[in-house]
């Protein structure tokens, strides 16, 4: 049995809420790996992962929905950082910091319009890590 393979990539998300497509990095990681599962994990308390369509406005719709659900205001008890930063610490309960995807023949098995995206609403931390782990089948 082959051991699990794992790698960490560093990404920059900027100073504004963003949905960053990391599908190409995920595809590169699993290329030639055969069948198995790709587990993607974000080791941050204020970021998450979403499998979502991008480029047709869905990424902006997600950010707007998160603004409606988790407003940037003073209601949050967690108060360090920028005003409204407490909502960033609630984000991973809504947009989880992990996703597991099937891989067949070294290719991600995503739907036609699906992309693997890092969701980051925390403008205070523009440097993020993403861990890819491949579990062979």
Q: Where are the domains of the chain?
A: 5-136
Fold of 5-136: Jelly Rolls (2.60.120)
Residue 63: C-alpha distances to residues 6, 54, 71 (Å): 29, 12, 11
List the chain pLDDT tens, one digit each, 137 residues. 789 999 999 999 988 999 999 999 999 999 999 999 999 999 999 999 999 999 889 999 999 999 999 988 888 787 677 777 788 899 999 999 999 999 999 999 999 999 999 999 998 888 999 999 999 99
């Amino acid at each position: 049995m082959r051991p699990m393979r794992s790698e960490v990539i560093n990404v920059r998300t900027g100073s504004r809420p963003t949905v960053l497509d990391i599908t190409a990095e995920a595809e590169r990681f699993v290329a030639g790996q055969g069948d198995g599962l790709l587990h993607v994990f974000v080791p941050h308390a204020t970021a998450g992962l979403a499998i979502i369509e991008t480029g047709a406005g869905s990424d902006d719709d997600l950010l707007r929905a998160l603004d409606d659900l988790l407003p940037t205001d003073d209601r949050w008890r967690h108060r360090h950082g920028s005003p409204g930063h407490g909502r960033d610490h609630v984000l991973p309960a809504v947009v989880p910091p992990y996703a597991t995807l099937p891989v067949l023949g070294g290719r991600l098995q995503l739907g036609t319009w699906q992309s693997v995206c890092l969701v980051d609403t925390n403008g205070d931390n523009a440097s993020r890590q993403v861990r890819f782990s491949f579990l062979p089948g």
